Amino acid sequence: MDRAAIWRVAVEAPLADTLDYLPPLDPPPAGSRPGLRLLVPFGRGARVGILIEVVDQSAHPADKLRRVERVLDPEPLFDVLDLRLLAWAAAYYQQPLGAALFAALPARLRTPEPLSVETAPGLRATESGRAVDLETLSRAPKQRALLDALRSEPEGLTLGELTARLGDSQSAIRTLRSKGWITDVQLARAPDPVTETPPLAGPELHAEQQAAVEAVQAAFGAFGAFLLDGVTGSGKTEVYIRLIESVIAQGRQALVVVPEIGLTPQLRERFRTRLPGPIAVLHSALKASERERNWLRAARGEANLILGTRSAVLAPIPRLGLIVVDEEHDDSFKQQDGLRYSGRDLAVRRAQLAGCPVVLGSATPSLETLRNAKLGRYGWLRLTKRAGGARAPTISILDIRNQPLRAGLSPVLRAHMHAELAAGNQILLFLNRRGYAPVLTCHACGWVGECPHCDARLTLHLSERRLWCHHCGWSCPQPDLCPACRRPELQMLGRGTERLEEELVALFPETRIARLDRDSTRRRGELGRVLDAVHRGEIQILLGTQMLAKGHDFPGVTLVGVLELDQALYASDFRAAERIAQLIVQVAGRAGRAERPGRVVLQTRHPEHPLLQSLLREGYSGFAEAALRERAEAELPPYSHLALARAESPNPEDALAFLRQAHELGERLAADSGAIQLLGPIPAPMERRAGRHRAQLLIQCAERPRLQGFLTRWVNEVRTLPRRKGLRWSLDVDPRDL
């Protein structure tokens, strides 16, 4: 048998390893290059696979090997660097290689479909159009020129090409089309190169921005990680733009990842007016065909700038010269199923592999990133002033113990609100709970509305007259009588945004009030409509959930009220305080402008809480210092590394029992080193969810490589444990939620 005759292929299947195949009978014209998309026999069917490498020997006898059915594309979709990144991600997150590769592919390319051919609308002369004597059109020069041009091109011309040759010819096109002399066609052609207006010039950089730009530019062509630590409005985006401009000028591509889909249109528009295109946008809300087209433009090196949400970090980008992760602290960078990766952490790894700088920007850096900056692993670039000269908002605490609350608002906050409204200013109220009331209960017998599938209460949504479970999506009509005792004694306890809105309307009549939460923005375009109305000054009070803190600016807002943060201060998740501090500072940063600085008021029953106090006295950096000290004492991340094994099953005991076995296995494997700690298993914070019983086992270790080594050995063995029917388990490396 000839050498180098075994193709090692990754497929999307729950396998730890690649599979060996014989090469296809028709060898690919461009050679057997890694990254090629293939169709391979698998079980009784066929699957898409990616060629990983060509080797000369297989552990299996050659007569047992099956043959690759065919090569699907003329060129590999991934290059060697892409494959290295994805292999790293698979190993790090303890997933099969196929899981990482297929997470990186647009949906259609996970099937044996061919790559889509790009088409552009165009026109072609018909038989009768070709037979016409052009002289008969001498009185209609536009029609004559158009027909002449089309007759000279047997395939036809795209509308863009026609406009370039003849200028606007809409009416001539209509006339010739109605005569049947020309016809509409789709031409297999890349879309017309947009005749871009030359990019607008930006403002002159201030000294801190200039220093940041120069520091990163000095790292071009080699790996370097930077924290761009700057309050909202300090000009971080302006720094990104300059950096992207200079990598594009060097003939390289830039990748910008953002946490939220909602942020891409504004940012895209800003980039479009400032940077020489083309820009490829990548996120899950795009139509599948559009996403695939943009992905291919990134992969073929045609797009100068790739702007997307976390999965864009996995896309092939052959000429990558710079990565920017905006709002790097945001939890949305963490993928919560399948390949449970952190888009931010992969961005840093990718920059290392590609040998290019990565810039992590935030007004409220994550504690992990701050520690890396403190240790000098990341360059620490600070922007301390707001670019437009706006002053930072003040943050203050309102002790609401023993205060008569109306609509959850203390008298002081209400007085502030009246004063701001009288002065013509806008107000933002933040309540992180949607729906009308989080509890429906019976005053007569004590019945409480609970989800039949989860350990959770049902939230009343009054406008829909339904009770909803926010954890599994189950719902039922709102009962009129108590389901238990049939008496009309049902009471709504607590307050969600829907109720707050209703109460505000009563408290502040004549005031225009709007609400932003997942329910109010379900209709397409609604979010944009509300934000526009706020910007035009048509809304005076805007209330909503954490959606308010995500990237939207509210220059007319001078007062921000945070209604309930006590829950977050005492939540079981050790990251809860970090999240609430980030949220407060983010909302604060988006309010106010130069002449009218914003003020943030936090209502609490725990005014002495140490983390709140440090946030108040020393701002976010003071808070972060205090929080890092707490983490160090408790040996929590970033001072240790975590992995969380989760199991769930239809039967109450199975998940716990499975993880107990996994624990024992782990104890045996880790016996040689006391460095690995296995904690649990314990029931998950919500033990039953969507009808399944859940448990979790925490693995903790101070040293990353040791943890990684342990996990690889352990996961291999846990996979072989017997599993009761319906039991599912998964491992989450660097979990965000415990």
CA 178 to mean position of chain CA atoms: 48
- The answer to the question of residue 203 lying near ligand ADP (CB under 6 A) is yes
* Nearer Cβ to ligand ADP (239/563): 239
Query: Residue 38 binds what, of Zn ion, ligand ADP, none (CB under 5 to 8 Å, by partner type)?
Result: none
Q: In what order do the strands lie in the sheet with 6-11?
A: 66-67, 19-22, 6-11, 45-55, 37-42, 70-71
**Minimum Å distance from CB 328 to ligand ADP?**
13
Dihedral angle of Cα 67, 72, 73, 79, to the nearest 10 degrees: -60
Query: Residue 485 binds what, of Zn ion, ligand ADP, none (CB under 5 to 8 Å, by partner type)?
Result: Zn ion
**Minimum Å distance from CB 232 to ligand ADP?**
5
By CB under 6 A, the residues from 335 to 394 that bind ligand ADP are: 387-388
Distance CA 349, CA 99 (A): 18
- The answer to the question of residue 264 lying near ligand ADP (CB under 6 A) is no
Query: Residue 151 binds what, of ligand ADP, Zn ion, none (CB under 5 to 8 Å, by partner type)?
Result: none
**Minimum Å distance from CB 611 to ligand ADP?**
25
**Minimum Å distance from CB 379 to ligand ADP?**
17
What is the pattern of x (binds ligand ADP, CB under 6 A) and - over residues 485-514?
------------------------------
- The answer to the question of residue 584 lying near Zn ion (CB under 5 A) is no
User: Applying CB under 5 A, which part among 105-113, 451-459, 640-648, 723-731 lies near Zn ion?
Assistant: 451-459
| CA proximity to 562, closest of 630, 617, 616 | 616
* 469 known ligand binder: yes
CB 726 within 8 A of CB 732: no
* Nearer Cβ to ligand ADP (205/571): 205
Query: Residue 454 binds what, of Zn ion, ligand ADP, none (CB under 5 to 8 Å, by partner type)?
Result: Zn ion
* Nearer Cβ to Zn ion (27/452): 452
- The answer to the question of residue 205 lying near ligand ADP (CB under 6 A) is yes
Distance CA 364, CA 229 (A): 7
* 482 known ligand binder: yes
* 454 known ligand binder: yes
Which residues lie closer than 8 Å to 206 by C-beta, 6 or more apart?
235, 385, 387
Centre a 10 Å sphere on the Cβ of residue 485 and count the other Cβ atoms it contains.
12
Distance CA 337, CA 93 (A): 11
- The answer to the question of residue 234 lying near ligand ADP (CB under 6 A) is yes
User: Which residue has 């920017």 as its token pair?
Assistant: 324
Distance CA 730, CA 694 (A): 11
- The answer to the question of residue 593 lying near ligand ADP (CB under 6 A) is no
| CA proximity to 325, closest of 252, 226, 221 | 226
- Token output for 175: 């006339």
CB 556 within 8 A of CB 542: no
Q: State the distance between the two ends of the chain, measured CA to CA, in whole angstroms.
A: 53
- Token output for 181: 């002399």
- The answer to the question of residue 472 lying near Zn ion (CB under 5 A) is yes
Query: Residue 582 binds what, of ligand ADP, Zn ion, none (CB under 5 to 8 Å, by partner type)?
Result: none
> What pairs with residue 42 in β-bridges?
45
- Contacting residue, 323, 469, 560, 585, with Zn ion by CB under 5 A: 469
CB 406 within 8 A of CB 400: no
Dihedral angle of Cα 448, 452, 457, 461, to the nearest 10 degrees: -90
* 356 known ligand binder: no
Q: 3-class DSSP state for residue 719?
A: coil
H/E segment holding residue 656: helix 654-670
**Minimum Å distance from CB 206 to ligand ADP?**
5
By CB under 6 A, the residues from 213 to 232 that bind ligand ADP are: 230, 232
- The answer to the question of residue 238 lying near ligand ADP (CB under 6 A) is yes
Query: Residue 233 binds what, of ligand ADP, Zn ion, none (CB under 5 to 8 Å, by partner type)?
Result: ligand ADP
User: Which residue has 């716990």 as its token pair?
Assistant: 656
Whether cis (ω within 30° of 0) applies to the bond prior to 438 is no
- Token output for 289: 């065909």
- The answer to the question of residue 211 lying near ligand ADP (CB under 6 A) is no
* 701 known ligand binder: no
- The answer to the question of residue 476 lying near Zn ion (CB under 5 A) is no
User: Applying CB under 6 A, which part among 197-205, 421-429, 578-586, 612-620 lies near ligand ADP?
Assistant: 197-205
User: Which residue has 């013509």 as its token pair?
Assistant: 424
* 485 known ligand binder: yes
* 476 known ligand binder: no
- The answer to the question of residue 521 lying near ligand ADP (CB under 6 A) is no
- The answer to the question of residue 236 lying near ligand ADP (CB under 6 A) is yes
Binding site for Zn ion (CB under 5 A): 442, 444-445, 447, 451, 453-454, 469, 471-472, 474, 482, 484-485
Binding site for ligand ADP (CB under 6 A): 203-206, 209, 230, 232-238, 387-388
Residues of each annotated binding site for Zn(2+): 442, 445, 451, 454, 469, 472, 482, 485
